[in-house]
Amino acid sequence: MKRFLFYFGVISLIFWLPGAWGSDTQSFKVTRVYDGDTVMAVRDGTVIYVMLMGIDAPEISESSQVPDQPFGREARNYLSSLILDKEVKIVGYGRAPYPDNNILGVIFLNGKNINLEMVKKGLAEAFDKDLPSNFDISPYLEAEREARKEKAGMWSLGERYISPSQWREMHKLSLAGKP
């Protein structure tokens, strides 16, 4: 029953978060930053997990056998410095493909698009796969082009740069069959 109430709350929350549904933006307090593109936020006792829409940040390993991706911790630390323990506005774009209780969202602090700031700083790349039709990825793509040109953050790696999706795939394969 408790699990049902949790999922009912998450689904209800998605419907009153704006973006795809056009309602007012809601305020939340960011209580945890997991990495450069995933946070936990709370409003009136409701906890949500937000995957930042339109970006993909370098990975932080959960295993001592797999190294962090370069700039993974820098991305998390920068995102934390921007929004941890602060009231933010979240524009929701529906449920994330995984895990079940995540939503896709854009976070704003004092009118500033935090997702876009991560790309501008070179701590996330624009992620244009499986986007809802009402999401404009073009500012993110432009910010990535500029960050690459300036060799900001992860783009300073040049030819050594590996996208977060490639990194995840490489390390998933290298861990296959290991305890």
Any idea where the domains of the chain sit in the sequence? Answer: 2-175
- What is the model's pTM? 0.82
**Out of 1.10.10.10, 2.40.50.90, 3.40.1190.20, 2.60.120.620, which CATH number does the structure's domain 2-175 have?**
2.40.50.90
Letter for the amino acid at 125?
Answer: E
pLDDT of residue 163: 94
Say which amino acid occupies 10: V
The H or E element that residue 46 is part of is: strand 46-52
Question: CA–CA separation, 144 vs 149, rounded Å?
Answer: 8
What string of pLDDT tens digits covers the 179 residues of the chain?
A: 444 434 444 444 444 444 443 444 689 999 999 999 999 999 999 899 999 999 999 999 877 778 889 999 999 999 999 999 999 999 999 887 766 668 999 999 999 999 999 999 999 999 998 888 899 999 999 999 999 999 999 999 999 999 999 988 888 744 444 33
Residue 65 is given by DSSP the state T
pLDDT at 176: 40
Q: How far is CA 150 from CA 47, 138, 146, in A?
A: 37, 18, 6
